[in-house]
Amino acid sequence: MDIVIDGNKDLAYADAGSSLGEILDQLQTWLQRNGRAIVTLTLDGQTLVPAAVPPDVRKQKVDAYRMLDLVTLCPAELSLLTLSKLAEHLPSVGSALTTAASHFQKGNLPTAMSLLGDAVTGLQVTMDTLLKVGQLQGIELSTLTVGGKSGLDAIHRLRDKLREVQSALKSKDSVTLADMAEYELAPAVKDWQELIGGLEDRIKKQDP
């Protein structure tokens, strides 16, 4: 089995008789020592989740496969890629919030609820991801500013707003939900874009 890492075929070789799982574990250990992580794993043209390769596949001998193709990134590269994807997704979250508010006002509750639910999930994912990226890079979000306040304050404010949304959902208070979607959550999307940009800049400065 040939092993290709970031387009290079000369970095690693598979010992005959070894299982795929053994080779993957060895590669992961070696890559971690070199400050890199596997982000894409393709086995004979089939893309697999690096951290969830099926046990029956791992048990197979490497002779059963032709090529293992890995794409790796260092933590800074992985963080920047993650933040870039978040930034691309945020405008759709803002659009879903304003559209949800419109549907609430028109009495189209099922559509409004669906859009709001998707948007809230998107905001929660954004919040959790920013915290994880900050931890990975050793960057305190409290040292970043958003609208004159710290990034950590922005996260606390969002958590409070999401709790209010959950309460309004339970009481089926469509007026409150419409107001929160249009006047509080949707405008806050710009804050999240600013926070993402600030975190990206900080990562680039500490990892030139």
C-alpha span between 145 and 154 (Å, rounded): 9
pLDDT at 97: 94
pTM for this one?
Answer: 0.73
CA-closest candidate to residue 188, choices 142, 141, 120, 139: 120
The gap from C-alpha 155 to its chain's centroid, in whole angstroms, comes to 16
| pLDDT by residue, tens only, the chain of 208 residues | 999 999 999 888 888 889 999 999 999 999 988 888 898 999 999 999 888 899 999 999 999 999 999 999 998 988 999 999 999 999 999 999 999 999 998 999 999 999 999 999 999 999 999 999 998 889 999 999 887 888 888 888 888 998 999 888 888 888 999 999 999 999 889 888 999 999 999 999 886 5
Label residue 107 left, alpha or beta by phi (over 0 means left) and psi (-120 to 50 means alpha): left
pLDDT at 208: 54
pLDDT at 3: 95
* DSSP string for residues in the chain: -EEEETTBSSS--PPTT-BHHHHHHHHHHHHHHTT-EEEEEEETTEEE-GGG--HHHHHSBGGG-SEEEEEEE-HHHHHHHHHHHHHHHHHHHHHHHHHHHHHHHHT-HHHHHHHHHHHHHHHHHHHHHHHHHHHHHT--GGGSEETTEEHHHHHHHHHHHHHHHHHHHHHT-HHHHHHIIIIIIHHHHHHHHHHHHHHHHHHHHH--
pLDDT at 139: 92
pLDDT at 18: 93
Cα angle for residues 160, 155, 150 (degrees, 5° grid): 125
